[in-house]
Structure 1
Amino acid sequence: MILNIRDALRDPSMSGKLMLALQRAVSDQFTQTDWEELGYETGEHDYITGHQRLMRSLYFGDEDYGACVFQALRYFADHNTATIEALLKRKKIRFALENDAPELLQGLGLTESHVPAMPSGSITASQVVERALADADHLLAKSGPISCIDRLHTALQGYLKELAVRAGVAVDDQASLTQLFKLLRASHPKFQHLGSQDKDIVRVLNSLSNVVDALNTIRNHASVAHPNDNLLDEAEAMLMVNVTRTLFHYLNAKV
C-alpha cells in the first residue's frame, strides 16, 4: 500500500528527492502507452495528451523530454496527488526506484525485497557490453528497434574508446565511431593476428567497417536521436540492431 505520499510532497526534505527520482524513472521507463494508461487510470488523460510537448518529445527523443516530465509531475503533485501514488504503484517505476533510489522508498515505507543494482565505479569491458545489450533489449520491448539505435551507437562508441585506452592506444576525444573502429583494428594488438583464415576475416571486418560507418549516418539522420522526419523502417532498424549486437559479441570475445 502507498503511504504518506501527500506528506512527502509537503516535506521539503522529501519532495525534491521524490520528484527527481520519479522524473528519472519515468523518463527512462515510460512509453506512450504507459502515459495513456496513467491518464485514463487517474483522470488526467486530457492533461497528458493535451500537453504541448510531452508526447512529441517522447516520440522524437527530444532533449526537452525530461523537462516536460518535470512539468507533468509538478502538475500532478499540485492538482492530483493520486497520480503520483499511481506512478509509484507501477512495476517498472518501482523497479527503477529500487535500483536508483532505495533510500527514498525506505523513507516512504515502500521497500520491497529486490536484487540490488550493480555497484557504481570501475566496471569491466564485459560488463559494458552486458549493460548496453540489456538497455537495447529494454528499449526494443518498450519502443521498437528504431529506439535502440541511438543507445547502441553511444554504447559502441564508448566501448571502442575504452578498449583502445586500456590497450594504450592514443585516442582523440572527438573521434567518431568510424574512426575508433578503424583505429582499434589498426593498433590494438588483439587484431594483428586473426587466425588461419586471416585474409577472409579481414574481408569480414572490412564489411563490418562499412556497417559501423552506416550506423553512424543512420543514427544521425534516420533515428530518434534527432528530430528526423524520415525514420528507418522497422525491418531495417532491426537489421542494424542485430548487426551491432553481433559486433559487440565479437569484440567482447576477441578482446
Structure 2
Amino acid sequence: MALINFLLDSKFEGKLILALQRAVHSEFTESDWIEIGYQTGEHEYIQSHNRLLRSLHFGDEDYGASIFQVLKYLSMHNPDAIQVIIDNTKVNRILQRDAPDLLFELGANVDHVPTVLTKSLLATEVVERALADADSLLKTSGPISCVDRLHTALHGYIRALCTEAGIPDLEGASITTLFKKLRSSHLSFQHLGTRDNEIVRILNGFGTVIDAINTIRNNATVAHPNDSLLSEAEATLAINVIRTLFHYISAKVDQ
C-alpha cells in the first residue's frame, strides 16, 4: 500500500508524524534539513521557512513546533518527502528502536518484531500486505531478502493472534514457541476437520519447518551480517513455505 493511503488515515498519520518529529528533533542538523530539501524538491520551502532553521540554530523552544508544521505540510503536499525522511539513516535508526510497529505496518523491515500489530489492521490485511511486500522484494532484491521480510511478518502476525486470543507468556517467545501456543490454545485450531490426525501430522511438520527457517533467517540471510547465504532455490523454498503458512493461518482465524 502506498504511503499516501496511510497518510489519509488521520490516526495513523498522527502517530507517524509524532514519531518522525521526535526522531528529527533529536537527530537532525541544519545540514540534514538542507539535504532533505534537495532530495525532495522542497529546498525552497525548508530554507525559506520563517522559523525552522533559525529555531534549530539558536536552540529556541519553538523548534519542535516548527518540525510539526513542516511534517504536516509535507504530508499534505508531498507524501514522497515523508518517505524520504522515514528512510533517512538517522531517523530510521530511531524509528527501529522507538516505533517498530509503525515501520512494520508500513511494510518496512524491522530489526525486532513489534510487540503487537495495530488493532485496526485486520488479519487478512496483514497477510495481503506481507505477501505483496514479498512479491516486490523478489523483483528488487531477490529471494534472500524476502525470507527475512516474510519471517518477520509471520512472527509478528502469530504473536498478534496469540495476544488477541488472550494466550499468556508471550514475552520474548520465539516464532516456534508462538506457533505451538497458537495451535494448542487458539480456538480456531481446536477443530481440524474429519482427518484431524493427518492434519496434526502436517502441522507438526510445519512446526519443524518454522524452527528450521528461524535458524536460516538468523544465520543464512541478510537479516544479520552472515558470510554464507542461502542459494536462490532454497530461499525460494523457504518463501513458499511461509506463504503457505500465512494462507492457512489466515483461513483458520477468519472462518
TM range (shorter): 0.5 to 0.7
Q: How far did 1:22 drift?
A: 1.4
Structure 1: give runs of 5+ residues left out of the alignment.
28-64, 71-98, 100-119
1:83-122 paired onto structure 2 within 5 Å = 122=120
Q: How far did 1:165 drift?
A: 1.7
**CA shift digits 1:135-158 (9 cap, x unpaired):** 111111110110111111111111
- Matched pairs, number: 167
Provide closer, same or farther for how the CA distance between residues 231 and 122 of structure 1 changes in structure 2, counting only shifts above 3 A.
same
Q: Which amino acid aligns with 1:230?
A: S
* Structure 2 residue aligned with 1:66: 89
* Structure 2 residue aligned with 1:22: 84
Q: How far did 1:235 drift?
A: 0.7
Contact 1:164 1:171 in 2 (8 A): no
Q: How far did 1:168 drift?
A: 2.0
Relative contact order: is structure 1 or structure 2 higher (C-alpha 8 Å, sep ≥ 6)?
A: 1
Q: Does 1:216 align with 2:239?
A: no
Q: Which amino acid aligns with 1:168?
A: G
Structure 2: give runs of 5+ residues left out of the alignment.
1-38, 53-65, 75-80, 94-105, 107-117
TM value normalised by structure 1: 0.58
Contact 2:159 2:170 in 1 (8 A): no
Q: Does 1:10 align with 2:47?
A: yes
Q: Which amino acid aligns with 1:232?
A: L
Contact 1:161 1:171 in 2 (8 A): no
Sequence identity (%): 53
Q: Alignment partner for residue 146 of structure 2, among 135, 148, 155? A: 148
**CA shift digits 1:61-114 (9 cap, x unpaired):** xxxx824999xxxxxxxxxxxxxxxxxxxxxxxxxxxx9xxxxxxxxxxxxxxx
Q: How far did 1:3 drift?
A: 10
Contact 2:217 2:223 in 1 (8 A): yes
Provide closer, same or farther for how the CA distance between residues 195 and 170 of structure 1 changes in structure 2, counting only shifts above 3 A.
same
Whole-angstrom CA distance in 2 between matches of 1:69 and 1:123: 22
Contact 2:85 2:91 in 1 (8 A): no
- Post-superposition, which runs of at least 4 consecutive aligned residues in structure 1 deviate over 4 A? 13-20, 67-70
**CA shift digits 1:6-35 (9 cap, x unpaired):** 4134233689757764143xx4xxxxxxxx
CA-atom RMSD in angstroms: 2.9
Whole-angstrom CA distance in 1 between matches of 2:157 and 2:138: 20
Q: Does 1:158 align with 2:156?
A: yes
Whole-angstrom CA distance in 2 between matches of 1:159 and 1:7: 42
TM value normalised by structure 2: 0.58
Provide closer, same or farther for how the CA distance between residues 230 and 192 of structure 1 changes in structure 2, counting only shifts above 3 A.
same
